[in-house]
Amino acid sequence: MRKPSVVVTARWPLAVEQVLQSEFEVTLNESDRPFTADDMRSALASADALCPTVIDALPAEILGDARGRCRLLANFGVGFNHIDVAHATRLGIAVSNTPGVLTDCTADLALLLMLSIARRAGEGERQVRSSQWRGWRPTHLLGQSLAGKTLGIIGMGRIGQAVAKRAGLGFGMRVLYHSRSVVSVPGVDIERLDLDDLLARADFVSLHCPSNPQTHHLLNSESLGKMKKEAYLINTARGDVVDELALVEALRNGVIAGAGLDVYEKEPQIQAGLIDLENVVLLPHLGSASVETRTAMGMCVVNNLRAFFQGKPLPDPVVVRLTNR
């Protein structure tokens, strides 16, 4: 019996690639070169399943019509805003993702960014590397402590709750949150607020909401202006939740104290101005970047592939409600 054919758009952890090779007729991306639109179209036409990542845009123009061979988009990642899921569904193409397995890793990184920007670790590291450090002195690079501060979380899903737990239990922070759902985190003092109240009261604002039309540029010049001048913005969610032009101006003009970013609007491009600012920490989308987590994500994709080709329900389906048009 012919093995299902699978195209993988990027290098994955070796252990996962070996499993794929043993179970499927797989085409790996040995060079790790980003796929072009034509590469995507070719894979959709020739493979039974395509395994994209967050950088692989699959809008309706690339998905095309129903004449291709591909019947599953097994996404490596939780976010799926790079895929026109509604159009794929109309074409009879199933979509899956990898929820749950990267919660702790991403929450850890959010705390890393909070500590790095508040304690001015990025500035200090740059001074050491450029031989500008003149030695210890009492007023050098004074930052802010996390202990006792107020954290505002926008989006209280798995990752938001994991961040709240770390911040509350680990640093004694008070946690405010803005979310459609009422949640509780055992042992942590949390309060649900509307967005404006959260922005006005938080010392740190951490984004953990999905990317959709309602959250596009949720943090813009108006909302940034509602934050404390001493507050920090942390984004490990999606780049387009923040209006980066407005953020650059806010950081330049002291509207807020600083920002820690792991995601960007037009990755891998960085908004002009961000790199020149000292009061921002910039990471290259490392939220899930641990060996354990990326391997777990890959195996999550494998489980979705197995289920699909065995005629079983997808463990992690991405479902959208279709509207007539």
Catalytic residues, which ones? 238, 267, 285
Backbone φ and ψ for 219, nearest 5 degrees, come out as: -95, 105
Instruction: Name the nearest CA neighbour of 162 among 186, 194, 191.
Output: 186
Instruction: Name the nearest CA neighbour of 206 among 283, 76, 112, 82.
Output: 112
Report angle CA 274, 231, 148 to the nearest 5 degrees. 135
Neighbours of 21 (CB within 10 A): 12
Alpha helices of the chain — where are they, by DSSP H?
A: 14-23, 37-46, 60-63, 85-90, 103-118, 121-129, 158-165, 171, 195-201, 221-224, 244-252, 291-309
Task: Give the list of residues 6+ apart from residue 82 with CB closer than 8 angstroms, or none.
Answer: 52, 54, 55, 56, 57, 58
Let me know if 269 is exposed, middle or buried by CB neighbors in 10 A (0-12, 13-18, 19+).
exposed
Q: Quote the CA–CA distance of 16 and 18 in Å, as a whole number.
A: 5
Neighbours of 38 (CB within 10 A): 9
Strand 232-235 and strand 258-261: the pairing is parallel
- What is the rounded radius of gyration, in angstroms, for the C-alpha atoms of the chain? 21
Q: Quote the CA–CA distance of 92 and 162 in Å, as a whole number.
A: 35
Let me know if 138 is exposed, middle or buried by CB neighbors in 10 A (0-12, 13-18, 19+).
exposed
Measured between alpha carbons, how far is residue 125 from residues 22, 85, 118, 129, 141 in Å? 44, 42, 14, 6, 11
